[in-house]
Every structure is written in C-alpha cells, then in structure tokens.
Amino acid sequence: MQTIISPLLVSHRLSLAPPVPRLLNNYHHRAPTSIRLSSHRSTNSLRLFSSTVVAAAAAAAAASRDSEMATEDVQDPRIAKIASSIRVIPDFPKPGIMFQDITTLLLDTEAFKDTIALFVERYKDKDISVVAGVEARGFIFGPPIALAIGAKFVPMRKPKKLPGKVISEEYSLEYGTDKIEMHVGAVEPGERAIIIDDLIATGGTLAAAIRLLERVGVKIVECACVIELPELKGKDKLGETPLFVLVSSA
Amino acid sequence: MFAAENGLKGDPRLEAISAAIRVVPYFPKKGIMFQDITTLLLDHKAFKHTIDIFVDRYRDMQISVVAGVEARGFLLGPSIALAIGAKFIPLRKPGKLPGKVISESYELEYGHDRLEMHVDTVEPGERVIIIDDLVATGGTLSAAISLMESQGAEVVECACVIGLPEVKGQHKLKGKPLYVLVEPSELDEFC
C-alpha cells in the first residue's frame, strides 16, 4: 500500500523554503597548528582582501580557533551554488529546529560534483589513507572522496549495525547518551584520517568519532562537513582536531 | 542476472570483489551468513572496480537518477551517480527524510517495514536505476520500484553487488531487470 502525503508538484528544481543558509563571505584566519595544509593562508595575504574580509579576519585572528571556510581570495564560486542547493525545513525533527536538508544538493549534479571536488582538492595530497564517514549521511559524501584520493572508507555506525567485532564510543545527547561503533581492524595505528559528515551541530558525534579513531592510534588530520551551525559551537568539542566546512549556516 | 553471465565472464575484477567481501556467521541471528561489504570498502582497488563496473554499464543508458536504499545503498549509489551525471536520491526508513514524502511498505520475515522518498525529486519519464548492496528476497527493491513508478519514473534496472540464491536464475524483479555482480562469499574465502 502506498501513502501519498502531499499533492505532487511537478517542477524541475525544488523551490527552497526560506531562510537559505547565509554564506560567510570572508575567511577566518586560523591560529597555526602542527598541521599545515596547502590552502592555509598567512596573515599578510589577508590584507589584500576587501574591507569586510579584513574586518572579519582581524576579529577572527583574535579568537583562538575558528573553522576554516572553503574560501580563497574571494569566495570560491562553487560555494554559492552549493549553499543555495541546500534546503531548510523548519521544525524538523521537532519545533524550533531549522533542518539543513542536503537531499536537494544531491539532486543538483553540478553542486554535488563541486562539493566532492572541493573536499578532494583539499585532501588529495595529504597522505590520507582513511576516510571515516558517520552514518548515514556521511556515507553519501565519504566514499566518493575516498575513491578519488585513494583512501579506504570506514563507516562509523549506530550500535548493532556492523556485523563484526566492534569498538564503540559513547557520547552525550540532549537527553541520555548514544554510541558510535567501528569495526576492529578497519584502521591501523599511524594511519592518517579525515572524518566526514554532512553537518556539524553540537559536535558530539564528531567528537566521539575522533575519540574512537584516536583510541586505535589513528591521526585525525581534519573533520570535514558540508555545513556548520556555528551558534552551536561544535568545533569547540573537537579538541586539537581542525574543522573544515563549506557552508556556515547561522 | 549475474555479471559473469552478462559480458563479464572471467573478469578478474569480479574475483577481487568477491574476495574482498567478508562473511560474518550468525549475524544478525542464527542461520544467517552475513555478507559484509565493509571489507570491500577497505580495499580501494576492489571498491573502485565495483563502482567502475556499474558506471561502465550505465554510463550510456541515459540514466538521470540513481536511487540508493538506506544505508548501504548510500555507500555505492552516490559514486555511480557522480560518474554518470545523474541525481542521487536516498530511499530511507520512516521518519528520516525531513520534507514531504511518499512511502511504501514491504514485508520482512516477521512483520513489515516502510521505505520513504521525498516528493518532487523525479519527473515522469526519468530513467532510474536502484542500488543496494545485496538482494535477498527482493522485498526492499520491490518497494523502491513501486515508489519510483508512482512518480512516473521508469526503473531501467536494479543493481546490487551480491545476490543471494533466492534470486539466482531470476532475471527480473517486479518485471524490472536485476543486475548482480557476485554470489555470496563462503566462510573459507576470507582469511
């Protein structure tokens, strides 16, 4: 049997419900860490930018840490298209939450291709041998990146989904706790990894993923997400691990 | 139909793919020899072969939609979609998709489950392939076919890495062609 919840609207592209994620049209300078990625900029180059960029960069330089945005001298032209392809659904899964829906990004072949390309460009020459993706939306972005950079893909899953022997890490929810699991033997000590998810909110899941991988001796080079919700300060939960996002949604 | 019977007989990639799949006995319960594709994902070459075979097959078939069944279909579908220039549509368990959905129920061994899809994602006449890691009874894929057809889309083929004995000899599922890479791995094939 079939349930049709709403009348069919035939349209080539989905219309977006307001508000659209706001793009941060600037670049946050990050305090130097032990990991130097090729797109990391020195403070000097930021002075060449427009006034809004410099103002933001100066403020950001005063902060101890900031997520690195996928921007270059001016915003990468691919970012605007990616951001506008993300649909916001109000009050899902409960009232008050503005849900960032990436399924519309997946319908836009150029935007999806660009999303993967941006991550691949960033990580391809970094000796990354592991792309870990958090269930379930991390499974959509992680494998294409892994394939393109020659890495293995490691799924990190909710309890009881993985069939073999697992290690697990608990993390806090608003009410109660949850667990994230990984197969024993999937990774080896000394491997360099990135962790992928579609979105970082409170950072609880990503922090647990970091702990899980670090417990088995893996070095997490960076966490990478399509979207960040900066007000929830998820990056603060990531410890020393840098965060890279394409779109920041205030 | 199995890939070996359909142009890929003796293709060494199929053997590599099969060898990379791990069998976990008695998961999720006694009597089931679980075909674990996570080990395939750890083998970059074998994983690439898997995607390449599907891409080679569908590249010139004017496929505009790849639909993947949650969650292991998500591991395979997007890479294929990207390579052939198609949209990726996730088919999910109830309550996961945030927008307006249509849903279809299907039978489990005991009881029922439902598969959901966002509305406004396919247009009538679009050509679709549906991907999952494994096909057993075909119940989930049948539900997926129903969802697509309800939107007026044309399901060209269902594609899976592994096909259980129930489907051997079956070329069609709900009237749609079924394309499978390998048979289930045996316990002693994986060290």
Q: Are strands A87-90 and A98-101 parallel, antiparallel or unpaired?
A: antiparallel
CB < 8 Å to A10, chain B: 120, 123-124
CA distance B117 to A205: 26
CA B109 to chain centre: 19
pLDDT of residue B108: 82
Catalytic residue among A137, A181, A191, A222: A137
pLDDT of residue B171: 67
Can you give the pTM of this predicted structure? Answer: 0.84
Where residue A80 falls among pLDDT bands split at 50, 70, 90? very high
Q: Is B154's Cβ below 8 Å from some Cβ in A? A: no
Catalytic residue flag (residue A174): yes
Residue A135 has pLDDT above 50, yes or no: yes
Residue A203 has pLDDT above 50, yes or no: yes
pLDDT of residue A42: 33
pLDDT of residue B187: 83
Residue A65 has pLDDT above 80, yes or no: no
CA distance A94 to B143: 28
Nearest to B79 among A3, A143, A152 (CB): A143
- pLDDT (tens digit, 9 = 90+) per residue, A30-49? 333 223 333 333 332 222 23
Instruction: Give A228→chain B minimum CA distance, Å.
Output: 18
pLDDT of residue A75: 81
- pLDDT (tens digit, 9 = 90+) per residue, B131-187? 999 999 899 999 999 999 999 999 999 999 999 887 766 667 888 999 999 999 888
Q: How far is CA B56 from CA B59, B61, B182, in A?
A: 6, 10, 17
**What ipTM is given for this predicted complex?**
0.95
Question: Quick one: CA dihedral B140, B145, B148, B154, positive or negative?
Answer: positive
Residue A5 has pLDDT above 80, yes or no: no
Over the Cα atoms of chain B, what is R_g? 16
- CA contacts within 13 A on the Cβ side of A192: 11
- pLDDT (tens digit, 9 = 90+) per residue, A172-197? 988 899 999 999 999 999 999 999 99
Is A205 in contact with A199 (CB distance < 8 Å)?
no
pLDDT of residue A175: 85
Where residue B1 falls among pLDDT bands split at 50, 70, 90? confident
Query: Which of A16 and B151 is assigned the larger pLDDT?
Result: B151
- pLDDT (tens digit, 9 = 90+) per residue, B7-51? 889 999 999 999 999 999 999 999 999 999 999 999 999 999 999
CB < 8 Å to A113, chain B: 82
Residue A102 has pLDDT above 50, yes or no: yes
pLDDT of residue B157: 97
Is A245 in contact with A67 (CB distance < 8 Å)?
yes
pLDDT of residue B97: 98
Q: Is A113's Cβ below 8 Å from some Cβ in B? A: yes
